[in-house]
Amino acid sequence: MVRPGVWKLTVTVGRFADGSQRRVHTTVHAASEIEATRALAQFVTEVRDSSLPQSKVERDITVDEAVERFLTEHLQGERGREQSTIEDYRGVHAKWFSPAIGGRRLRDVATAATTQASPTASSVM
């Protein structure tokens, strides 16, 4: 328990290629230890069923880096989008999201942060 009603949950899921333990953390609000234990069981299932990054570099990727990878590897490479389309998307990201959250680790950014960064961005896309 971090403080009354707030619990930090940690799950260890194997190791990274460098041998260090792979740990995943979350914070939950729970009124009791029993409630926190249920949240932990749900978190373990969620982590076990998700695909985890293979390296610490992938785990710590920033929003800007992730967007660039998506634009070049997926949209341009796999989907064959035109360069002008990629540049348009890159410009939208640079204008609306990058200033507020571009340098943050992707895993630390919540949906609320993207809305706060640009509440009108959804009307642009």
Number of structural domains the chain divides into: 2
pTM: predicted TM-score of the whole model, two decimal places: 0.59
Q: 45: domain range? A: 6-54
Same domain, 17 and 40: yes
Q: Which long-range contacts (CB under 8 A, 24 or more apart) does 8-15 make?
A: 9/36, 9/39, 9/40, 9/43, 11/40, 11/43, 11/44, 11/47, 13/47, 13/48, 13/52
The secondary structure of residue 7, as a DSSP letter, is E
Q: Does residue 1 fall inside a structural domain?
A: no
Q: How far apart are CA 91 and CA 27, in angstroms?
A: 34
Average pLDDT, rounded, for the chain: 86
Check: CB of residue 92 under 8 Å from CB of residue 125: yes
Q: Does residue 68 fall inside a structural domain?
A: yes
Give the pLDDT confidence of 11-24 residue by residue, as tens digits: 998 888 888 888 88
Q: Does residue 105 fall inside a structural domain?
A: yes
Give the pLDDT confidence of 101-125 residue by residue, as tens digits: 999 998 888 655 656 665 555 444 4
Same domain, 69 and 37: no
